[in-house]
Structure 1
Amino acid sequence: MKNRTVASVLAIAALSFAASAFAQECKSRGDLDAMYCDDNGDMVADVPKDPKKLKNPNTIVFTYTPVEDPAVYEKIFKPFTDHLAQCTAKKVVFYQVQSNAAEIEAMRSGRLHVGGFSTGPTAFAVNIAGAVPFGIKGYEKDYQGYNLIVVVKASSPFQKLSDLKGKKVAHTAPSSNSGHMAPMALFPKEGLAPDKDYKILFSGKHDQSILGVGTGDYDAAAVASDVFHRMGTRGQIKESDYRIIYRSAKFPTSSFAYAHDLEPAFRDKMLKCFYDYRFTEEMKKAFDGADRFFPINYKEHWSVVRQVSEAGGEKFNREAYEKETKREEEAKKKK
């Protein structure tokens, strides 16, 4: 674990050096890192102007956000990755990532071409790794969303957020929207101030927070509603063993994003493969009935996430990313 932490810190230092060495001259950059430009104002990295920097990979590397066991999702996405391989006439491999930081660093370094990012880390992926969100799991007429919920044991005495003062409350990871940033912004209005009324305990993942409430390691946990319900559907938990004492407004669920430097003709072909695909019954069961990749764009559909971040005093810049990556590693060390 110590070696992994050192490796993470070294990777961050290397990325910082790369950012300064390859900073671009831009008319506009917005919140993007120095490696990227946003001259058209859509809040995501522009396609490189130099043709030599465009990528048309022989093997497409795909992944999905590590909110739960990555091996589970490799199996669930197998019918889709087979479809993507046939549709693009390229080899497709599923890359198992163990943390949000690892996924973001993989795209930034060019090792990851397309993948699903959790709601909060999507903004870091956009600004730090040049990710371009294009889809959300959804239905014919709308995209799939989720709520921040707070779960407690059904047998517990807790009925509202203010009852949790001085209790053991789990957050997931610093970069998580529902697992940390939304609670920081929304809980104070409900009479509960994180890090003041209780000490934040980072579990690492949504499923670990939920299971921790079940075992008594935590009195309550702030998690994504879709993860909670999926665990119930799979039989990992009995939802009746828990009680939801808080539910927020709807947030977009995990985004699917591609690397900004993909060759446009290849990129467009790949996107058509995504949009034309219809989920298998197993995928629909795993993703709460969603049956397709619903088209979205970052500027419009992630505005509510950015608003929550700003309200909570959080940013999605390099300084915040490096800070939260270190905090994520520290949370792992304590396990």
Structure 2
Amino acid sequence: MLKNKRHTGRQSLILTLVMMMVILSGCGTAASSESGSEGIPEVIRVGMMPSEEGEMNRSQEQLAKDITDATGIPAEIFVAEDYNMVIEALRAGKIEIGLIGPFGYIIATERANAKLLVRSESGQSSNTVILVREDSPYQSVKDLKGKDFLFVDPASTSGNLYPRATLMNELGLANNELESFFGSVAFSGGHDKSLLALTNNNADAIGTSSLMLPMLAESGLVKEEDFRVIAESEPIVGGAPLLYRQDLPEELVTKLRELMLDYHTKNPEFMESVGASSFVEGSDSDFDPIRKVAKALEMSPEELLSK
């Protein structure tokens, strides 16, 4: 179900927290925040978004097993409904590790005091594209006035932050003027969901990662020739970050970092599922270009998440 722009920030936050509590309360030991000696957690819980194949795939299950083998601590995967749920779970101490996008990293460091474990490298550049159906009459962003536009997730870099900046540049509008330009604005909850919504005529245009269309086309779900790019952003830099809770013992953080830096040799299927070729150490400054784009929107992370 798409998230309509008319939901208030308070309603969205309450819904997210309720959903998170329901999911975690049914996860047995995963709902516990207890730690053993010297702050070592009894369970390492990893929060991430669902794969295109479903809620959790074999490569994610393998990740949990590999973390258990590397640390000697049982690991479990927590599949979130959206990026904000991962951030809130980190802040509440309900998960130890979270995999989110570059913009999500900025929000998580501010709201949850999360730290960078590693970040991904894809081996190929990516950006945001504004897509319409090939058979539509829309040739430019200006043709979308009064039409239905679909973003991905409020905390998504390529599905919200960069599409907004691209639309602002193309239309010469401020961020707070975009929603009145379109007939409706909503969030799909996933790049794949946005593409499928466009395919099924449930949206007139979408903002998504340039990597998503060829990925879904390769799986046979869509055909690339059925879509047309009418605008695109500058390349996105920074890579997807893997974050950890700041109170984890340094010895455990070191073991986790060593595992992930070599993870492309252990679980290439997982790396492919997150659109990465490998993980590298990275630094906070790697995300400064994302901060620059976010600043141009003239909205705080809290305001962006409440859209």
TM-score, normalised on structure 1? 0.73
Aligned with 2:128 (options 145, 148, 156): 148
Between the two proteins, the alignment pairs up a number of residues equal to: 276
Residues 132 and 281 of structure 1: is their aligned pair in 2 closer, same or farther, counting only changes over 3 Å? closer
Aligned with 1:78 (options 44, 55, 61): 61
Alpha-carbon distance in 2 for matches of 1:238, 1:253: 27
Residue matched to 2:235: 250
Alpha-carbon distance in 2 for matches of 1:175, 1:7: 13
Residue matched to 1:185: 165
C-alpha contact 2:49 2:79 (8 A) present in aligned 1: no
Aligned with 1:296 (options 269, 274, 282): 282
C-alpha contact 1:67 1:206 (8 A) present in aligned 2: no
Equivalent residue letter for 1:293: F
Query: RMSD of the alignment, in Å?
Result: 3.0
Alpha-carbon distance in 2 for matches of 1:183, 1:291: 24
Identity of aligned residues (%): 23
Residue matched to 1:9: 14
SS of structure 2 residue aligned to 1:250: coil
Instruction: State the 1:75 CA deviation.
Output: 2.5
Q: Within 5 A, what are the aligned runs for 1:1-335? A: 8-9=13-14, 55-66=39-50, 71-72=55-56, 74-138=57-121, 145-191=125-171, 193=173, 194-198=178-182, 199-251=184-236, 252-279=238-265, 280-288=267-275, 290-298=276-284, 300-316=285-301, 319-320=302-303, 324-325=305-306, 327=307
Alpha-carbon distance in 2 for matches of 1:164, 1:245: 10
Gaps of 5+ in 1: 14-51, 328-335
Alpha-carbon distance in 2 for matches of 1:197, 1:122: 29
Residues 6 and 196 of structure 1: is their aligned pair in 2 closer, same or farther, counting only changes over 3 Å? closer
Instruction: State the 1:294 CA deviation.
Output: 1.9
Instruction: State the 1:118 CA deviation.
Output: 2.1
Residues 67 and 220 of structure 1: is their aligned pair in 2 closer, same or farther, counting only changes over 3 Å? farther
Alpha-carbon distance in 2 for matches of 1:242, 1:109: 41
Gaps of 5+ in 2: 2-9, 19-35
SS of structure 1 residue aligned to 2:166: helix
Alpha-carbon distance in 2 for matches of 1:53, 1:307: 41
Alpha-carbon distance in 2 for matches of 1:106, 1:69: 23
Alpha-carbon distance in 1 for matches of 2:83, 2:271: 24
